[in-house]
Amino acid sequence: MSVSVVVGAQWGDEAKGKIVDLLAQRARYVVRYAGGSNAGHTVCTNGTTYKFHLIPAGVLHPHVTAVIADGVVMDLRAFNIEAAALREQGVDLSRLRIGLGVHLTMPYHRLLDELEEAQIEGRIGTTKRGIGPTYADKAWRIGIRVADLLERERLAQRLQRVLQRRNPTIQRVYGAKPLDANALLEEFARYAEQIRPCVCDVPHLLMQAVERGEPILMEGAQGTLLDLDYGTYPYVTSSHPVAAGACLGTGIAPNRLTEIWGVAKAYTTRVGEGPFPTELEDEVGDRIRNRGREYGTTTGRARRVGWLDLVALRYAARINGFTALAVTLLDVLSGFPTLKVCVAYRLNGKEISDFVADAPTLARCEPIYAELPGWHEEIDHCRTLSELPPNARTYLNFIEEYVGVPIRLISVGPSREQTIECL
C-alpha cells in the first residue's frame, strides 16, 4: 500500500509531469490536489509530447483513474481546450473524476487577474489564469463550486451574488466592462452537462481506496517556494503546493502518506517576479536556458535561471518531509568546466544557512557558493549511475549529503526512458 506525493521543491517546472508519469506505472489513482490551469506539466513518451494543465498527467496510463480533487480550482473553458487537445492525441479521458468541492475559475476571475497584472505597481508576474481571484473568492465564501454548477437554480443564485461584488470592482476600479450573469449562466449550464458524468465525492472515493490499500499518487503543481504560506510571499501562487496541501486538497489524512517525493532541477529556475539569490543574468545563464529549453509550458515566457540553491532545497525538504529526491535536467549541466551550488547566504555581513522566505529580506541575501568540477560528456544516454561521469556523481552526492534526503531518481532527458533509478 502506498500513498505518495510528488512535490515541486523549487519555484515550479521541476519536471513533476515526467516524474508523475514514471511513478504512475505503480499507481491506481493519480490525483491533482492544488492549483489550476496555471500549471503546465509535460510528458514525453514514445515520441509524443503531452501537455497537461488541469488534467493529471497519470491519465496516460490505462490502469489509472485520474482525479481532480477539491483543492484544485478549475477553469472549464481552459479544461475544454485541454481535453480536446489530449483527445486529438488519442488520450482516453473516460477515467477522469472531478470533485464536487472543486472551485470554478470563472471568466471574471481571469479578467481580474489580467487587469491587476496590467498595473505596473505590485505586479506578481502571474500566469493570468485567474488563480488568485478564484482562491480569494473561495476564502471570501462567495466562490462557485462544481456542486453548485450541477443545479441550475443554485448556479444562478451564486452567480448573481458574486457578480454583485465583482462587477463593481471590474467597472469602477479597473474601468473595464462588467460581465453578464445570464450569458454566464447559459454557458456554464452547458459545461455542467459535459462534466456531470465525471463528478464524484472525491474525499470518499480516495478514503475508500486508501482503506482497500490501492496505491495513490498525488501530483503536485507549482513548487514549495511558491506556496502561499511558506513561499516568498507575495511572489507566490494562491494555493498550497507543499505536501501538507495534498492532505488538505484531497481529504487524505496526514498519517496515510507513505512517500513524499521532492522534484528538483539540477539548477534553479523561476518564472515571474520575486527574489532569486542564485540568478544568472549572464552568458552562463543563457547557456543553461538554451540547453534546458527554459520557456514556460503554460505561458511561453522565458524562465529566469540560476545555480542550484541548496539552502532553498534543504528548506523544501524540511517543510515537506521529503523521503526521496528526484533530480531532473542533469543533462543540461554537461559542458561547464565548474559548477556552483549555493551552500549559505550572506545577510547584513553575516553568514546564514537557513532559507529566508520573507521576500524583501531574501532579496538582500547574497549567495555563498561551493564550486564543484563539471563534466564535458553528454549524459542523455546514461541509464545507470555507473555510466555517469565521476564528476556528475560527485555533484549528486554533494546534493544528497547537504539536503539529507536520498536521490532515488535522476532524469537525463525529457523522455520516459531517459531516467536513472537509484536502488
Rounded Cα distance between 52 and 70, Å, is 18
Tell me which stretch binds ligand GDP (CB under 6 A): 14-22, 121-129, 235-243, 343-351. Answer: 14-22
We find the least distance from the C-beta atom of residue 273 to ligand IMO, in angstroms, to be 6
Among positions 203-232, residues that touch ligand IMO (CB under 6 A) are: 221-223, 226
- Binding of ligand GDP by 412 (CB under 6 A): yes
Tell me which of 132, 249, 367, 414 binds ligand IMO, using CB under 6 A.
132
Looking at the DSSP assignment, which residues form a beta bridge with residue 328? Answer: 265
Least separation in angstroms between residue 38's CB and Mg ion is 9
Give me the least distance between CB of 350 and Mg ion, in Å please: 35
15 binds, among ligand IMO, Mg ion, ligand GDP, none (CB under 5 to 8 A by kind): ligand GDP
SS3 call for 113: helix
- Which range in 90-98, 103-111, 127-135, 202-210 contacts ligand IMO by CB under 6 A? 127-135
Please give the Cα distance from 240 to 229 (Å, whole number).
8
Annotate 189-218 with DSSP letters as a single string.
HHHHHHHGGGEE-HHHHHHHHHHTT--EEE
Q: Which of 126, 320, 415, 419 binds ligand IMO (CB under 6 A)?
A: 126
**Per-residue x/- track, 8-37, Mg ion (CB under 5 A):** -----x------------------------
* Percent helix, strand and coil across the chain, each to the nearest 5: 40, 20, 40
Name which of residues 276 to 335 contact ligand GDP (CB under 6 A).
292, 297, 328-329, 331-332
- State the Cα–Cα distance between residues 423 and 419, nearest whole angstrom: 13
Position 32, amino acid: R
Distance in Å, CB of 170 to ligand IMO, minimum: 18
Residues found in the chain: 423
Q: Where are the beta strands (DSSP E) in 168-297?
A: 199-200, 216-219, 259-265, 268-270
Beta strands in 78-145 (DSSP E): 96-99, 103-104
The residue count for binding ligand IMO (CB under 6 A) is 24
Out of 238, 278, 323, 411, point to the residue binding ligand GDP (CB under 6 A).
411
Cell numbers found for residue 368: 555563498
306 binds ligand IMO (CB under 6 A): no
CA distance 412 to 379: 7
Q: Is 204 assigned a catalytic role? A: no
d(CA 101, CA 322): 28
Identify residues 27-56 at the interface with ligand GDP (CB under 6 A).
40-42, 44
C-beta closer to ligand IMO: residue 101 or 132: 132
Contacts of 54 (CB under 8 A, 6+ apart): 32, 36, 37, 39, 68, 72, 74, 75, 78, 79, 82
Measured from the CB of residue 328, what is the shortest distance to ligand IMO in angstroms?
A: 12
| Residue where the block lists cell 497519470 | 58
Q: Which stretch binds ligand IMO (CB under 6 A): 7-15, 184-192, 309-317, 363-371?
A: 7-15
CA distances in angstroms from 211 to 18, 31, 229, listed in the order given: 28, 16, 31
Should residue 127 be labelled a site residue for ligand IMO when binding is judged by CB under 6 A?
yes
Distance CA 342, CA 398 (A): 11
Q: How far apart are CA 406 and CA 130, in angstroms?
A: 37
Note if 41 is an active site residue: yes
Least spacing, CB of residue 236 vs ligand GDP, in Å: 16
Residue 271 interacting partner from ligand GDP, Mg ion, ligand IMO, none (CB closer than 5 to 8 Å by kind): ligand IMO
> Which residues of this protein are in contact with ligand GDP, per CB under 6 A?
8, 12-18, 40-42, 44, 292, 297, 328-329, 331-332, 411-414
> Which residues of this protein are in contact with Mg ion, per CB under 5 A?
13, 40, 297
> Which residues of this protein are in contact with ligand IMO, per CB under 6 A?
8, 11-13, 38-41, 124-127, 129, 131-132, 221-223, 226, 237-238, 271-272, 297
| Catalytic sites, residue numbers | 13, 41
